[in-house]
A and B are shown apart, each in its own frame.
Chain A
Amino acid sequence: MQRQIPMFIVFVSGLTMIVDYFFPRVPYIQGAREIFLNWGRIALTFAMILGIMNLLMSNLRKVALRKAGWIYNVILLGSFALTFYFAVQYKMVPSGNTFITHKGTDMGSSGTMSFASKIFLDVYTPLSGTIFSLVAFFIASAAFRAFRAKNIEAILLLSSAIVVMLGSIPFGDSLFAWLGLEHILGHRNFSWLSTQIQQIPMSAAQRAINFGVAFGMVFMSIKILTGIDRSYFGGGGE
Chain B
Amino acid sequence: MDNLIEIKNVSFSFDAEGEKRDIIKNLNLNIERSSFTVILGHNGSGKSTLAKLMNGLYKPTNADGSVLVDGIDTKDETSEIEIRRKVGMVFQNPDNQLVASIVEDDVAFGPENLGLTPEKSRERVDEALKAVGMYEFRKSTPHHLSGGQKQRIAIAGIIAMRPECLILDEPTAMLDPKGRAEVMSIITRFNRENGMTIVLITHFMEEAELADRVVLLSDGEIISDGTPKEIFSDIKTLKSTGLDVPQTTELLYQLKKNGIDIDTDAISVKETAARISAALHLEES
- A and B associate in one complex: no
Give residues in B with beta carbon < 8 Å to A: none
Give residues in A with beta carbon < 8 Å to B: none
